[in-house]
Structure 1
Amino acid sequence: MRLLRLARISLVALRHGLDQMILDRTATTRVGACLRRVLPARSFSEAPEVRLRLALESLGPIFVKFGQMLSTRRDLLAPALADELAKLQDRVPPFPTDQALARLEAEYGRTVNEVFARFDMQPVASASIAQVHFGALPDGTEVAIKILRPGIESIIAKDLALLDTAAALIERLWVDGRRLKPREVVAEFAKHLDDELDLMREAANCSQLRRNFKDSTQLQVPEVYWDFCGKSVMVMQRMHGIPISQIDTMRALGVDLAALSRAGVEIFFTQVFRDGFFHADMHPGNILVATEGVRRGQYIALDFGIMGTLTDRDKQYLAQNFLAFFKRDYKRVAQAHVDAGWVPPGTRVDEFESAIRAVCEPIFDKPLKDISFGKTLLRLFQTARRFQMEVQPQLVMLQKTLLNIEGLGRQLNPDLDLWATAKPFLERWMSDQVGPRALLRHLRDEAPNWAGTLPQLPRLMHQALQDNSTEQARRALENMGRRIEAQQKMIYACVATLLLLCGLVLALLLR
């Protein structure tokens, strides 16, 4: 079967002239010279980037998803190729309903009629990994039932093996192959696919996002019905709304598109900076807008297979850089990159600052319609390569999501000022992180640790003095000294905070 699949891939590649693309990039190598003797030179009316997109579409959903993921790695691709791959559409015919019923019965050990009060035979959505049917639980609750494609696991495993083989060949045959790290890209893609193949993981993502936005007036997230979920089935609340791409319909229904665009920016920054957990697949097909009742004009999130996470350090770094960008403090941006170790230690900050200024200065004081974030990101990546900056894997999905936000903003309100909308949010967030409230919060969080550590200090000192090993004693004393010093600093901070608060209260009383 693998040989047949490989043969089909080869035929598709030849039909779309991908062999000519390989020859063009291996022309100066011995392998390229040998290939030219075997493969005749041909001409095509379409550009190479277009031919590659068409080939991926012909090869099926897994290759389409790979192209979609690759389009987000603009640090690896030429701009024309990245733009073309971004056009890939994951439109897949639904699989037969009897296969869906069989998958459900295998998961539940019962017939569908015994599990659900209603199951709609016609699917409402179909993608490369799964498809969705509407139905109802025994108590009448309307639900959406997501079902994995039968046999998709083995198909993906075989195609991933072939992709890995192709990536290894690219590294050996293409001069720039190793720099582009194709095998690492395939491994990253495999990880995302593995996450999407476990619908229990997607259900957990959905549940977490819903909990994060439980009291939100901007975003709705469906409830997960855990008793009906499994590795190959996810059952969640049915949401009612229209696709966000239907601009004219929303305008006719009286939805405030300007407010909707601003809310989208706030939702994104809330996910990133407050929670460090964000929806990383925010294309129009995964977002609805409520058009009825008190929730009219609110976003509805769907499809939680791809989520991004950020550490506290990532969030601090991003917030500082965003604010520095907004204030046009490019020296601070450059220094933050050096401090984070993302560029070599010997990098001249003034040169890096000048390069960043050249990229970012032209985009300020312009409405969104006049700014191309795709081009801005491309120039930033070019600057990164010039200064040997490492692209951080944890930020790749964030960059992709920013591009999605740009696309949605252009559709809803071309005059949206992304900077003016985001800046107050980031300033509030930074104030919460480094201001008095943040200090009090950290003191409260660390209090249990102090209570457990302080009583142990005399015993730890005694153990250190009694230790027969001089080196161990020295290390123990040094560690204990550092712990005492840290505790003292925190105590001083507490006292200073209390004195400050008392001073503020006295000032208010004396006014």
Structure 2
Amino acid sequence: MKLLAVRRLLRIQRVVIRYQLDELLFALHLPLWMRVLGALLPWRWLPRKPLALTRGERLRLALEDLGPIFIKFGQLLSTRRDLLPPDIADELARLQDQVPPFPAAESVARIEQQLGAKVGDVFARFETEPMASASIAQVHAATLKSGEEVVVKVIRPNLRPTIRQDLAWLFLLARLAEKASAEARRLRPVEVVSDYEKTIFDELDLLREAANASQLRRNFDGSPLLYVPQVHWDLCRPKVLVMERIYGIQVTDLATLADQRTDMKLLAERGVEIFFTQVFRDSFFHADMHPGNIFVSTRTPWNPQYIAIDCGIIGSLTPEDQDYLARNLIAFFKRDYRKVAQLHIDSGWVPADTKVNDFEAAIRTVCEPIFEKPLKDISFGQLLLRLFQTARRFNMEIQPQLVLLQKTLLNIEGLGRQLYPDLDLWSTAQPFLERWMRERISPLQLLRNLQSQAEQVPHLSQMARDTLERLSLPASAPAAPATANGHRSLRLLGAALIAGGVSQGITLSLLAWPAWLMLGGGLYLIVRR
């Protein structure tokens, strides 16, 4: 094992020398001892011809040369535009997800080991030539004995030891960078590697991906917006995933989409609607929506439907983050920078002792030039990115879920404008956000929230359920006769809602708590009669 680690280190060193990555490092403001140490490196004494490549190109080519684990790391790194210079982020975003496939015999052996049966006993047909091969897994086409066409995704063999070994070197390089340079510390390389470690080990468990796909399919069951292939759970294992094979047009194949007369404007708008539905309605969003994972159904081009695959990376937001994010976006487009600054402080995204006036001025300085453009030309993703970069100066801690959100929004937005360049993202999103905010503070929704929060108090929870059932009855339905106990329960519930209104007035916005008071007071007065 030690010999393998040394050989891997020598391989990394050769790549560093080939692409002159040490020149990038020593161009930083390093401590004196680091510059002296660098001057003593043997290869730096030898004449080297300058590479006719940008620093981003050199880094991208080096990661490609180092293999699948480093390629995957580069892909993840490219999403951290809040940390990287734009030229490096743009170049890393070009990393391709195609790597040489591993031998078919190894793939078949792994599938048979995981399923506990011969491939011929499980599938009527199995194509040994993979359809696609990525850094973590590859995919084969197959047909079940029942005649259903499926795809079989299988994790690369012997991947975990390689990942651990490469992660150890990545952590070492990250710690050295943090010690060497204040600029490197600002990029927080150890934190970036830690995020990568969690992401890549999560992706090694295909049962997690299958569960994500099933949930996303359930969220959009019967929806004309999005279709998610069915998972065949009886054939899923930690290293093997079997799901329905889909046929569609890759979303970036604009010529084919045009040939079938796809409504491109509606397609672009539906992409935005899918994103906001996942984020705000479900708090469960596909966070890896690059073009390779998105297709368009060929069935109804005048009423286009997306197809999503590869649900290995899923993001979610807390109710508090959903609320603050929606209010931020609405405040941004009203240019209410004071509210944006205050929301960041209230949410805990920046420290409570932040001077709101200074933060407001910084946000205004960043955002005013953006709003000189027509609304349709304003990028939500770039707006969030500039906001995060500004907020970092005020010690904002970037939450992982917000990074995933920003990455997904950039993907969706770029895709939407590629499909329909005149897409007005704001006019598409604004009605959804404003409707969602109204529903959040409706009396019926607040009562549902109370029911959810009262699970630890069975009597109060039952009262909330009874009241919801009464409110849900059609107007023509006969009301159940009220009893003394029922009156007492509703009066108690009304009092609880009034108390909830007071607490909401303290913890939430001025928009929410009057609804609690009105609902609680109304119930109390009704039953008193």
Shift of residue 326, structure 1, vs aligned partner: 2.4
Select between 436-445 and 495-504 the one with higher mean Cα deviation: 495-504
Residue by residue, what CA displacement relative to the aligned partner does 1:120-176 show, whole Å, maximum 9, x if unpaired? 222111111111111122211111111111112222121111111111211222233
Contact 2:136–2:155 (CA<8 Å) still a contact in 1?
yes
Give the distance between the partners of 2:248 and 2:15, measured in 1 at CA: 40
**Residue number in structure 1 paired with 2:162:** 155
Contact 1:368–1:414 (CA<8 Å) still a contact in 2?
no
Contact 2:263–2:301 (CA<8 Å) still a contact in 1?
no
Please tell me the residue identity of whatever aligns with 1:304: C
Instruction: Using structure 2 for the length normalisation, give the TM-score.
Output: 0.84
Shift of residue 499, structure 1, vs aligned partner: 6.8
Instruction: Using structure 1 for the length normalisation, give the TM-score.
Output: 0.87
**Residue number in structure 2 paired with 1:29:** 32
1:361 aligns with 2:383: no
Give the distance between the partners of 2:261 and 2:497, measured in 1 at CA: 58
After superposing on structure 2, the runs of 4+ consecutive aligned residues of structure 1 that deviate more than 6 Å are 491-495, 501-504
**Is the partner of 2:182 in helix, strand or coil?**
coil
**Residue number in structure 2 paired with 1:259:** 266
Distance 1:503 1:294, change over 3 A: farther
**Is the partner of 2:243 in helix, strand or coil?**
strand
**Residue number in structure 1 paired with 2:467:** none
Alignment of 1:432-451 (within 5 A): 432-445=439-452, 450-451=457-458
Contact 1:266–1:422 (CA<8 Å) still a contact in 2?
yes
Alignment of 1:118-133 (within 5 A): 118-133=125-140
Give the distance between the partners of 2:189 and 2:36, measured in 1 at CA: 23
**Residue number in structure 2 paired with 1:489:** 499
Aligned with residue 102 of structure 1, among 100, 106, 109: 109
Give the distance between the partners of 1:354 and 1:399, measured in 2 at CA: 23
Contact 1:367–1:414 (CA<8 Å) still a contact in 2?
no
Shift of residue 294, structure 1, vs aligned partner: 8.2
Distance 1:290 1:296, change over 3 A: farther
**Is the partner of 1:146 in helix, strand or coil?**
strand
Select between 139-148 and 491-500 the one with higher mean Cα deviation: 491-500
Distance 1:199 1:330, change over 3 A: same
**Residue number in structure 1 paired with 2:296:** 289
Give the distance between the partners of 2:361 and 2:20, measured in 1 at CA: 42
Give the distance between the partners of 2:388 and 2:431, measured in 1 at CA: 27
**Residue number in structure 1 paired with 2:489:** none
**Is the partner of 1:235 in helix, strand or coil?**
strand
Contact 1:244–1:287 (CA<8 Å) still a contact in 2?
yes
Give the distance between the partners of 2:291 and 2:159, measured in 1 at CA: 25
**Is the partner of 1:147 in helix, strand or coil?**
strand
**Is the partner of 1:214 in helix, strand or coil?**
coil
Residue by residue, what CA displacement relative to the aligned partner does 1:230-273 show, whole Å, maximum 9, x if unpaired? 00100111111010010111011011111000000000001001
1:144 aligns with 2:151: yes
Residue by residue, what CA displacement relative to the aligned partner does 1:398-444 show, whole Å, maximum 9, x if unpaired? 11111101220121011101111101000111111112231232344
Distance 1:368 1:484, change over 3 A: closer
Give the distance between the partners of 1:66 and 1:438, measured in 2 at CA: 42
**Is the partner of 2:153 in helix, strand or coil?**
strand
**Residue number in structure 1 paired with 2:477:** none
**Residue number in structure 2 paired with 1:187:** 194
**Is the partner of 1:25 in helix, strand or coil?**
coil
Give the distance between the partners of 2:371 and 2:301, measured in 1 at CA: 37
Please tell me the residue identity of whatever aligns with 1:325: F
Contact 1:119–1:135 (CA<8 Å) still a contact in 2?
yes
Residue by residue, what CA displacement relative to the aligned partner does 1:43-81 show, whole Å, maximum 9, x if unpaired? 322122211111111111111111111111122212221
Distance 1:454 1:114, change over 3 A: closer
Please tell me the residue identity of whatever aligns with 2:113: A
Give the distance between the partners of 2:33 and 2:498, measured in 1 at CA: 68
**Is the partner of 2:289 in helix, strand or coil?**
coil
Please tell me the residue identity of whatever aligns with 2:17: L
Aligned with residue 319 of structure 1, among 309, 316, 326: 326
**Residue number in structure 2 paired with 1:82:** 89
Give the distance between the partners of 1:281 and 1:32, measured in 2 at CA: 40
Aligned with residue 23 of structure 2, among 1, 4, 20: 20
Shift of residue 33, structure 1, vs aligned partner: 2.0
Contact 1:196–1:306 (CA<8 Å) still a contact in 2?
yes
Please tell me the residue identity of whatever aligns with 2:296: V
Alignment of 1:243-392 (within 5 A): 243-293=250-300, 297-364=304-371, 366=373, 370-371=377-378, 376-392=383-399
Can you give the 5+ residue segments of structure 2 that lack an aligned partner in the other structure?
463-492, 503-514
Contact 1:200–1:229 (CA<8 Å) still a contact in 2?
yes
Cα RMSD between the aligned structures? 2.8
**Residue number in structure 1 paired with 2:224:** 217
Give the distance between the partners of 1:216 and 1:254, measured in 2 at CA: 21
Distance 1:336 1:491, change over 3 A: closer
Shift of residue 328, structure 1, vs aligned partner: 2.0
Shift of residue 356, structure 1, vs aligned partner: 1.5
Please tell me the residue identity of whatever aligns with 1:237: E
Please tell me the residue identity of whatever aligns with 1:496: M
1:399 aligns with 2:409: no
Distance 1:149 1:369, change over 3 A: farther
Give the distance between the partners of 2:127 and 2:310, measured in 1 at CA: 19
Distance 1:450 1:374, change over 3 A: closer
Give the distance between the partners of 1:265 and 1:453, measured in 2 at CA: 39
Distance 1:274 1:84, change over 3 A: same
Select between 102-111 and 495-504 the one with higher mean Cα deviation: 495-504
Give the distance between the partners of 1:11 and 1:210, measured in 2 at CA: 46
Alignment of 1:203-214 (within 5 A): 203-214=210-221
Can you give the 5+ residue segments of structure 1 that lack an aligned partner in the other structure?
456-482, 505-511
Select between 227-236 and 427-436 the one with higher mean Cα deviation: 427-436
1:3 aligns with 2:13: no
**Residue number in structure 1 paired with 2:508:** none
Give the distance between the partners of 2:141 and 2:202, measured in 1 at CA: 23
